């Protein structure tokens, strides 16, 4: 029996009939065609599917689409505004925080959650916050630098405003 869900994704409202077993990640990827959110495992271990649900980093490969009914969702596609990259997106580019790019959206969404509640993290804070996200390419060194870069950017931004 399909169920109707209503969700707001990147500021746009959607309403769809979905199978109860449909995972949120497949709803985003196959129904809404927002393919920036990736599936790397089936066990919430790799973090490639991390998005924000009601402002909180969530691994959506183990969340059902029906559980997202009524939720506000942000995916990697919704992170930049008016064509301006989010400081984390800029940081990953500036610091070579990505190689194949597959883990990158999840890594950025997790880091964005960290910076929301800890705007000036230490290296250790960042490593701890990202320990639920696998990267097989970078060895994490430049990812840590990317997040430090973004934190610095956000601080400058706060001073200016």
Partner 1 sequence: MSTNGLIGRAVKRVEDKRFITGHGNYTDDIILPHQTYAVFVRSQYAHAKILSVDTSAAKEMPGVIAIYTGADLANTNGVPCGWQVNFKNGDTMKEPKHPLLVADKARHVGDAIAIVIAETKEQATDAAEAVTVEMEELPCVIDAAKAVQPGAPLVHDDVPNNKSFDWTLGNPIEEVNAAMDQAAHVTTLEFVNQRLVPNAIEPRSYNSSYDPVSEKYTLYTSSQNPHLIRLLMCAFVLGIPEHKVRVISPDVGGGFGSKIFHYTEEALLTWCSKQIGRPVKWTSERTESFLLDAHGRDHVTKAEMGFDAEGKIVALRVKTYANLGAYLSTFSSCVPTYLHGTLLQGLYTTPKINVDVTAVFTNTTPVDAYRGAGRPEATYLLERLLDLAALEMKADPAELRFKNFIPPFDGVQQPGYQTQVALQYDSGNYEGVLKKGLEMLGYADVRRQQQEAANNGKLVGVGFSTYIEACGIAPSAIVGALGCRAGLFESGHVRVQPTGKVSVYTGAHSHGQGHETTFAQVVADKLGINLDDVEIVHGDSDSVAFGMGTYGSRSLAVGGSAIIKSIEKIIEKGKKIAAHKLEASADDIEFASGRFTVKGTDKSVGFGEVALTAYVPHVYPKDLEPGLDFSSFYDPANFTYPFGCHIAVVEVDKETGKVSIKRFVAVDDVGNVINPMIVEGQIHGGVVQGIGQALFEGAEYDENGQLTNASYMDYCMPRADDLPMFETASQVTPCPHNPLGVKGAGEAGTIGSAPAIVNAVIDALWSGGHQVKDIRMPLTSERVWNAMNS
Task: Note the residues at the interface with partner 1 (CB under 8 A).
Answer: 19, 21, 29-30, 33-43, 45-46, 48, 75-77, 79-80, 85, 89, 92-94, 96, 98-105, 108, 123-124, 126-128, 130-144
Phi, psi of 63 (to 5 degrees): -130, 135
**Least distance to partner 1 from the beta carbon of 139, Å?**
3
CB of 107 to partner 1, least distance (A): 9
- The tokens for 67 are 């559980």
User: How near is the Cβ of 37 to partner 1 at its closest, in Å?
Assistant: 7
* Comparison of 131 and 152: residue with beta carbon closer to partner 1: 131
Residue/partner pairs of 122-131 with CB below 8 Å, 24 or more apart = 123/148
Query: What residues form DSSP beta bridges with 18?
Result: 3
- Nearest CB to partner 1, comparing residues 131 and 156: 131
Helices (H), 45-98: 87-94
Least Cβ distance, residue 17 to partner 1 (angstroms): 14
Contact 140, 128 (CB under 8 A): no
């Amino acid at each position: 029996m399909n169920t109707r869900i209503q969700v707001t994704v990147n500021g746009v409202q959607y309403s769809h009939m979905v199978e109860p077993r449909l995972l949120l990640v497949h709803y985003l990827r196959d129904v809404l065609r927002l393919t920036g959110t990736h599936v790397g495992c089936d066990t919430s271990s790799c973090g490639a599917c991390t998005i924000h649900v009601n402002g909180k980093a969530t691994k959506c490969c183990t969340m059902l689409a029906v559980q997202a009914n009524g939720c506000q969702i942000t995916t990697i596609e919704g992170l930049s505004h008016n064509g301006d990259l989010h400081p984390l997106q800029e940081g990953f580019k500036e610091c070579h925080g990505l190689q194949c790019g597959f883990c990158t959206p999840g890594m950025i969404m997790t880091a964005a959650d960290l910076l929301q509640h800890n705007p000036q993290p230490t290296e250790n804070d960042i490593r701890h916050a990202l320990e639920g996200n696998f990267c097989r390419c970078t060895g994490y060194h430049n990812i840590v630098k990317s997040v430090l870069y973004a934190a610095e950017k956000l601080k400058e931004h706060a001073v200016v405003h």
